[in-house]
Each structure stands twice: as C-alpha cells, then as structure tokens.
C-alpha cells in the first residue's frame, strides 16, 4: 500500500516516518506538511519525495498517515477519505464526535480501511491481555492512572500548543479510555473534575454496569508521575501489564491491522473514544454527569 505522511512534528519524526519506512508492505511515497522546509527535511531523511501541494500527494497514494493535532487532523482525514484514501490516524480522531463520525461514515460508505494509533494497544503483551480479560469477563471496576509531565527538559511534546491548551484529557485520555472500553464495554455516562496541575479525574459508567476511574495529567512534578492500571472483578485483582515503550513496533502492528482490515481500533472505535472525551469536557465545565452519545 502506497502511503503519504501528513505532518512533520515530533510524533511524525519519532514514529510515523520511521514506522512507514520500516514496514515491508508499505511504499512510503512522501511527506506533506504545513511548513514546507520541515517537510523537505523529514522527506530527505527517509529518501522520499516532498509534496508542496496536498492534492498532489492524495493523487499519488493509496493511504495517508496523519501526525497532526486533532483539530487539523479531522479536516484532513475527511478530505482524504472523500478522495478514497485509507486512513492511519492518530488519537484523538477529532475534537468533536460529530466530525469523527463524519469521517467514519465516509470510510464506511467508500469501503475504506482505517486504524487509529492508540500506541500501547498495538504492543503484543498488552493486546493479548486485553483480549484475555475481555473474554474472561466478570469485571466490576477498573482504575487507570496516566499521570506524567510533558514539560521536563528535552521533552519534544512540551512545545505542542494543542497539548498545552487541551491537557491530559485529550492527550493521554484517549489511551486510558481505549484500554478499558474493550474490557468493560462502551461508556454510557461520564463525570469529570479538573484540578490544578492539569489533574483530571474521570468516572465512567459502562454498558456492563462496571465503573472505571481514570486519573490524567501531563503536568505533574516528575516525582508524582505514574502509569498503571488495575482490573477488579470475579477473578480478583488483576494488574494490567505495562510493556516496554516501542512506538515503531506498535506502529508496524497498527499498519498490519489496517492492511488486514481489522476493525477493532478503526475510526468508528476512535469516534466512540472521542465521544467520551467530549462528554468529559462538558462534565468538567458544567459539573453534571453527562450521557455519552456517539455521532
């Protein structure tokens, strides 16, 4: 499958571009970016073409991988889907469930393939655990802490304007939510509180009746950082494994899922996660429990 890359930021450089270049079943065609000089530099690093015009790239590829902020990704993903291109998207799909749903509808109507890159979900140890836990069932509760900082020295994501504005809910919240939904079921209600230092507390009610409690931040003191998840149920207390961070391996597995037409983490699933985040933002603002609706 012939891919074009949209985006030139840290995540494009660390994961998307090397992941596309490394995959045996991908023909990495080239790069388009909002900053032509950055696009040229990234393309040169991987020996591929630079596309100054997005339409030229879309005309020359079968699929696009998008490594851009969600408010930009949503518009470009919709444009690429209308052009009949398969979609490799980052999380969250968009800033509203309505736009994410529009993308999912076009993907469905045109018979396209899609995948959303919930990074750790594509690491084999975690993927196998989730499949096993979902099959086992009997879970009544989950707790997920995804708490850290992007503002430590040398962290390339600390300069990300959208992460500074939207915080942990929209940055790491997709990862935490995508972990519990396959095990506990779709989310029906959300309540959220936001405290200083971007500390965000979510309580999610799932279709199975189970409840998950999620704590998020990208701005805590390093000594307070933690990333852990635990399930509670008939099988007892089950810690969720924390596999070694390997974004290139995960990227390759996500490409495999797209090529195979695996729909478990496609744009429709990504839309459901966006709906949870949108409901959480509304709850934090209004102080009410919000019902989740997926466009």
Question: What does the mean pLDDT of the chain come to?
Answer: 96
Q: Identify the three-state secondary structure at position 269.
A: helix
The residues, ordered by sequence, that sit 6+ positions from 258 with a Cβ below 8 Å of its Cβ are 1, 63, 86, 88, 113, 114, 115
Q: Looking at residue 153, what is its pLDDT?
A: 87
For the cut 60, the answer to whether the pLDDT of residue 295 exceeds it is no
Mean pLDDT calculated for residue range 31-36: 96
CATH number of the domain that residue 227 is part of: 3.30.360.10
ω into 92 cis (within 30 of 0): yes
Answer whether residue 109 is part of any domain: no
**Range(s) of the domain holding residue 270:** 120-291
Mean pLDDT calculated for residue range 16-36: 97
**Could you read off the pLDDT of 276-286 as tens digits, one per residue?**
999 999 999 99
Give the confidence band of 160 by pLDDT, cuts at 50, 70, 90.
confident
Query: Residue-wise over 224-239: b if at least 16 C-beta within 10 A, else e?
Result: eeeeebebbbeeeebe
The residues, ordered by sequence, that sit 6+ positions from 285 with a Cβ below 8 Å of its Cβ are none
Answer whether residue 11 is part of any domain: no
Answer whether residue 107 is part of any domain: no
Query: Structural domain tally of the chain?
Result: 1
**Could you read off the pLDDT of 230-289 as tens digits, one per residue?**
999 999 999 999 999 999 999 999 999 999 999 999 999 999 999 999 999 999 999 999
Answer whether residue 38 is part of any domain: no
Answer whether residue 226 is part of any domain: yes
Answer whether residue 169 is part of any domain: yes
The pLDDT > 90 percentage for the chain reads 96
Answer whether residue 101 is part of any domain: no
Q: Looking at residue 154, what is its pLDDT?
A: 86
Q: Looking at residue 49, what is its pLDDT?
A: 98
């Amino acid at each position: 499958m012939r891919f074009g890359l949209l985006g030139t930021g840290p995540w494009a450089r660390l994961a998307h571009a090397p992941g596309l270049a490394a995959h045996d079943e991908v023909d990495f065609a080239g790069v388009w970016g909002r900053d032509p000089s950055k696009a040229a530099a990234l393309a040169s690093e991987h020996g591929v073409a630079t596309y100054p015009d997005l339409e030229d790239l879309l005309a020359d590829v079968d699929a696009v991988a998008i490594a851009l902020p969600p408010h930009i990704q949503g518009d470009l993903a919709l444009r690429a889907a209308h052009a009949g291109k398969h979609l490799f998207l980052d999380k969250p799909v968009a800033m509203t469930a309505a736009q994410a749903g529009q993308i999912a509808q076009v993907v469905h109507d045109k018979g396209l393939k899609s995948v959303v890159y919930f990074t750790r979900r594509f690491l084999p140890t975690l993927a196998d655990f989730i499949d096993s836990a979902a099959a086992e069932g009997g879970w009544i509760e989950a707790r997920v802490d995804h708490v850290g900082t992007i503002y430590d020295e040398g962290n390339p994501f600390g300069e990300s304007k959208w992460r500074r504005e939207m915080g942990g809910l929209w940055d790491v919240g997709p990862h935490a939510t995508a972990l519990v939904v396959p095990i506990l079921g779709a989310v029906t209600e959300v309540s959220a509180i936001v405290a200083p230092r971007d500390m965000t507390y979510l309580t999610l009610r799932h279709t199975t009746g189970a409840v998950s409690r999620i704590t998020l931040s990208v701005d805590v003191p390093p000594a307070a950082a933690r990333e852990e998840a635990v399930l509670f149920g008939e099988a007892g207390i089950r810690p969720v494994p924390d596999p070694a961070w390997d974004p290139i391996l995960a990227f390759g597995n996500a490409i495999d899922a797209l090529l195979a037409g695996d729909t478990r983490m496609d744009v429709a699933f990504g839309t459901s996660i966006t709906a949870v985040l949108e409901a959480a933002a509304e709850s934090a603002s209004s102080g009410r429990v919000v019902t989740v609706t997926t466009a």
